[in-house]
Amino acid sequence: MRIGLEMNGVVVIDKRPGMTSHDVVLEVRKVAGVKKAGHTGTLDPLATGVLPVCIGEATKLVPFLVSVTKDYLVSMLLGVRTDTLDIEGEVLEEKEPQVTDQSVENALQGFLGRSEQIPPRYSAVKVQGRALYKWARKGIVVDPPPRMVEISHLTVEEISLPYVTFRMSCSGGTYVRSLCADVGDLLGCGACVAGLRRTRSGIFSEAAAIVMDQKDRQGNDDRVRASLIPLAELLPDMRTIVPEDPWVKRIKDGVHPRAEMVNRRDDIPFLDSGDMVKLTGSRGELVAIAELLYGSRELAGLQNDVPVMRLLRVFNEN
């Protein structure tokens, strides 16, 4: 049985190797019977693991779910440089790695913290309005600007040369392929990604991920239905404000919240101008995401008709 168009939420897919992230989204759309779906961060075809897919009204949350911390299990191959920075690319150079376990460990640990990273030539990063991989496929060399990334945790699990297995946590937008290439350059032998699995993306872990079976359409339908994470459970760290019911309707009609909505309440947490909050209905349903125009201390002194929030997203679940 197909899931109806009222389906809204996030399903965490355990991506199979060989598929693009776009392939996964198309598969979810087909199974769920919906027109709107989108992922929250590209996984390379080589990679497996956690790929959150937003469905229906949840697609409005994609910008809020992309730049989250991500965890990976990485297999790095030393001594091989490729054009794509992974083993699926064209080999540019092979060299016997003259390294010790300690030198490998030191090289990896040297990338902890914040640093500038250059995205791979074969990536979805856009330069001059076109994805880098499209330039690369045309044989046009484009030097992408470096971006600031952060690796907050890195643990080496096994060194069995020429392969090195490690786990890492990093900011959204970090390219593991670039990291491995940079480590290989530092060691003087080159390196590329041999295997990659995303184990977590923000609040979404591999424990919640489901595997889509190409031969079991009904089973896929049931799995998506059972594992769907509703809108109300997303963005759990964002502060929540519960307007009275008359305001819920006005917000859904696009009216920016005014001081009267919060002046009658004594439970507004300490917040600053520019902070984002979730507005939910009395049943816990997600109504909107808004940006505060005033801090909590300023709200009480405002006239009732002064707009105090700017609506960023409004949700209309069936």
Which residues belong to the active site? 44
| CA 302/CA 276 separation, integer angstroms | 19
Q: Is 173 exposed, middle or buried (0-12, 13-18, 19+ CB in 10 A)?
A: middle
Q: Which residues pair with 49 in a beta bridge?
A: 15, 198
**In degrees, to the nearest 5, what angle opens at C-alpha 47 toward C-alphas 43 and 51?**
45
Contacts with 106 (C-beta within 8 Å, 6 or more apart), sequence order: none
Phi, psi of 149 (to 5 degrees): -130, 170
Residue 106: which region, alpha, beta or left (left: phi > 0; alpha: psi -120 to 50)? alpha
Q: Which residues pair with 280 in a beta bridge?
A: 286
DSSP for residue 254: T
For residue 196, the Cα-to-chain-centroid distance in whole angstroms is 16
> CB of 67 within 8 A of CB of 171?
yes
Cα 125–chain centre separation: 14
CA distance 61 to 70: 17
